[in-house]
């Protein structure tokens, strides 16, 4: 066999083994989930009286939701004299005026509220939290992003866990106010349930390292200090700090049965920005924290778990490369340069493993999260479309992290649309311009066309595989097309503004 063909097949099957390992790991998460207690751990004790809590609200251009955020925090069931509200505002638009007016109103109502407006975004969210923590009055610091709507009993459900001096942070499960908006939000809700119900529960209850999710949780201030404070050298500052705190001897508590309502992105471009940031940030944490993790005295099982967790997004460029070489590999086999029964068995085994593991993973997560879980399973076909559609987007984030490229912290837009009012979404989405990388959209559409070509080639030898490949191409066409549409709308609006100014 020619060397080029041998190298091609070696790379291909090596990547197949990597994908198999990831799928077996996800299967292990399902198995471990059922070995753990089904309920949340109870607090070690109760505080004799309510401790002083500082609520930190980092915002950036959140004009549609900041008023709601402040009003929700003011409704927390906690004594006013034991509650401080810090609105950490890096905004450059009318959010500044809205925020100042609302904070002034809360002050007149007797709340200890402060509006901290920075004129630059040094360190982005991590920088804002670092500066605010230095002057915070509370021993415990609750953090909520602008789209979160904590329930009145949030502090009652979480604070008493800090009677255990080893607890650094308490993270609650995210729930979604706008999950029923459309197929995108339903599919993303299912994906997020997999993270919060299976991954977070299994890691936290099994004593493994797990991450603070950046919002919907509360920190012990001393643990932040002992861990070295908020760092801004990654764009997943929440994961970075939570890992450093646990490596410093603290632990986290995850409460599956306490939910904190929030919003899901309703635009594909917004989703892409969010997922790009998470993929890049977790990979940055992987390279930053791996040396410390493996030098620690933690058991091997915890080191392996942490490595799988932080390095999971490395699978995106690997799977993307495997997709590109899949067609040449198939042509080599068809030309009898290699292949045979073993090759077909390997392909079938990995396909079966991926399909069964993914389906079981999200069925279990949905069943454990919702009483009407059987009805919700009709949205199951949408999560692989989203996953494949995001492959180029997330692979770009991982490659940027691997190359050390520093990029701006791009916020996920919060539009404050909880119903199905698409006209309102269209009006409000014009204030947001992220997730619109032109060349990435071109690559996504090109790869979608490549999938169609591959499906045509598969049709003769693997009809079912051809159908699956064709369906998955829809995810790439959707992601790329939505980005080009957003770019076209943005340019049309820019031309209209210019014409108006000239007139």
The predicted model gives 305-317 an average pLDDT of 92
The predicted model gives 483-487 an average pLDDT of 83
Q: Would you say residue 343 lies in a domain? A: no
Encode pLDDT of 425-482 as tens digits. Answer: 777 776 665 556 788 999 999 999 999 998 888 787 777 778 888 888 998 998 999 8
Whether 140 and 218 have beta carbons less than 8 Å apart is answered as yes
- Annotated active-site residue 147? The verdict is no
Euclidean distance between CA atoms 33 and 256, whole angstroms: 12
Task: Check whether 243 has a pLDDT greater than 90.
Answer: yes
Task: Check whether 412 has a pLDDT greater than 90.
Answer: no
CA distances in angstroms from 448 to 63, 254, 257, 347, 441, listed in the order given: 36, 39, 40, 21, 11
Whether 219 and 143 have beta carbons less than 8 Å apart is answered as yes
List strands edge to edge, sheet with 167-176: 112-117, 83-89, 53-59, 140-143, 217-220, 167-176, 251-262
Q: Would you say residue 458 lies in a domain? A: no
Q: What share of the chain in percent tops pLDDT 70? A: 95
* β-bridge mates for residue 140, sequence order: 53, 220
Q: What is the pLDDT of residue 36?
A: 77
User: Lowest mean pLDDT: which of 63-77, 163-177, 344-358?
Assistant: 344-358
Q: What is the pLDDT of residue 410?
A: 76
Q: Is 457 exposed, middle or buried (0-12, 13-18, 19+ CB in 10 A)?
A: middle
Query: Tell me, what CATH number does 57's domain have?
Result: 3.90.550.10
Q: Would you say residue 380 lies in a domain? A: no
Task: Check whether 83 has a pLDDT greater than 80.
Answer: yes
Q: Point out the catalytic residue in the list 40, 89, 90, 347.
A: 90
Encode pLDDT of 116-128 as tens digits. Answer: 999 888 999 999 9
Euclidean distance between CA atoms 293 and 179, whole angstroms: 37
The predicted model gives 142-159 an average pLDDT of 97
User: Lowest mean pLDDT: which of 132-146, 163-177, 253-267, 313-327?
Assistant: 313-327
Q: Point out the catalytic residue in the list 89, 145, 193, 238.
A: 238
Q: Would you say residue 16 lies in a domain? A: no
Euclidean distance between CA atoms 310 and 439, whole angstroms: 27
Q: What is the pLDDT of residue 235?
A: 94
- Annotated active-site residue 238? The verdict is yes
Task: Check whether 223 has a pLDDT greater than 70.
Answer: yes
Q: Is 419 helix (H, G, I), strand (E, B) or coil?
A: coil
Task: Check whether 142 has a pLDDT greater than 80.
Answer: yes
User: Lowest mean pLDDT: which of 33-37, 352-356, 402-406, 417-421?
Assistant: 417-421
User: Lowest mean pLDDT: which of 96-100, 154-158, 161-165, 451-455?
Assistant: 451-455
Q: On the CB side of 223, how many CA atoms lie within 13 Å of its CA?
A: 26
Q: What is the pLDDT of residue 146?
A: 95
Residues of the domain holding 163: 43-267
Decide which of 425 and 157 is more confident: 157
Q: Would you say residue 187 lies in a domain? A: yes
Q: Would you say residue 20 lies in a domain? A: no
Q: What share of the chain in percent tops pLDDT 90? A: 59
Q: Would you say residue 218 lies in a domain? A: yes
pTM, to two decimals: 0.91
Across the chain, mean pLDDT equals: 89
Q: What is the pLDDT of residue 340?
A: 55
133 Cβ neighbours under 8 A, 6+ residues apart: 56, 141, 221, 224, 229, 230
Q: What is the pLDDT of residue 24?
A: 87
Q: Would you say residue 49 lies in a domain? A: yes
How many structural domains comprise the chain?
1
Q: For the chain, how long is the longest CA-to-CA vector?
A: 81
The predicted model gives 237-245 an average pLDDT of 98
The predicted model gives 22-30 an average pLDDT of 88
* β-bridge mates for residue 176, sequence order: 262
């Amino acid at each position: 066999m020619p060397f080029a063909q041998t190298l091609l097949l070696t790379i291909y099957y090596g990547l197949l083994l990597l994908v198999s390992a990831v799928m077996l790991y996800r299967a292990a998460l399902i198995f471990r989930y059922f070995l753990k207690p089904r309920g949340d751990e109870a607090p070690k004790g109760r505080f004799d009286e309510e401790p002083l809590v500082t609520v930190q609200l980092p915002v950036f251009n959140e004009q549609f939701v900041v008023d709601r955020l402040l009003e929700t925090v003011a409704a927390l069931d906690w004594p006013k004299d034991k509650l401080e509200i810090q609105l950490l505002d890096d905004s450059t638009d009318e959010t500044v005026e809205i925020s100042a007016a609302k904070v002034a109103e809360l002050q007149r109502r007797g709340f200890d509220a402060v509006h901290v407006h920075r004129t630059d975004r040094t360190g982005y969210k991590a920088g804002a939290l670092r500066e605010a923590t230095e002057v915070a009055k509370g021993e415990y610091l609750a953090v909520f992003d602008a789209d979160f709507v904590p329930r009145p009993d949030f502090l009652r459900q979480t604070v008493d866990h800090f009677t255990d001096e080893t607890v650094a942070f308490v993270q609650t499960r995210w729930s979604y106010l706008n999950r029923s908006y459309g197929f995108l939000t339903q599919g993303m809700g299912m994906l997020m349930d997999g993270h919060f119900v299976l991954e977070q529960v299994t890691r936290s209850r099994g004593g493994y390292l797990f991450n603070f999710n950046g919002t919907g949780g509360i920190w012990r201030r001393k643990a932040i200090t002992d861990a070295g404070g908020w760092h801004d050298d990654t764009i997943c500052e929440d994961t970075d700090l939570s890992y450093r705190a646990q490596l410093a001897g603290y632990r986290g508590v995850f409460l599956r049965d306490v939910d904190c309502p929030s919003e899901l992105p309703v635009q594909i471009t917004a989703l892409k920005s969010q997922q790009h940031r998470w993929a890049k940030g977790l990979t940055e944490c992987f390279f930053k924290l791996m040396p410390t993790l493996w030098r620690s005295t933690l058991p091997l099982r915890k080191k392996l778990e942490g490595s799988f967790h932080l390095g999971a997004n490395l699978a995106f460029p690997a799977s993307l490369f495997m997709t590109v070489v899949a067609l040449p590999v198939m042509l080599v086999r068809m030309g009898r340069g290699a292949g045979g029964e073993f090759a077909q068995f390997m392909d079938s085994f990995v396909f079966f493993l991926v399909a069964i593991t993914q389906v079981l993973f999200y069925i279990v997560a949905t069943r454990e999260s919702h009483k009407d879980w059987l009805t919700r399973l009709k949205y199951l076909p949408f999560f692989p479309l989203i996953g494949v559609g995001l492959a180029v987007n997330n692979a770009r984030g991982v490659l940027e992290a691997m190359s050390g490229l520093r990029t701006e912290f791009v916020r996920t837009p919060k539009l404050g649309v909880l119903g199905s009012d698409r006209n309102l979404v269209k009006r409000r989405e014009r204030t947001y311009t992220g997730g619109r990388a032109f060349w990435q959209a071109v690559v996504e559409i090109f790869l979608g066309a490549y999938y169609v070509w591959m499906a045509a080639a598969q049709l003769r030898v693997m009809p079912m595989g051809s159908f699956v490949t064709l369906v998955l191409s829809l995810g790439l066409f959707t992601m790329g097309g939505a980005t080009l549409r957003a770019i076209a709308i943005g340019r049309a609006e820019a031309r209209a503004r210019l014409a108006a100014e000239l007139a």
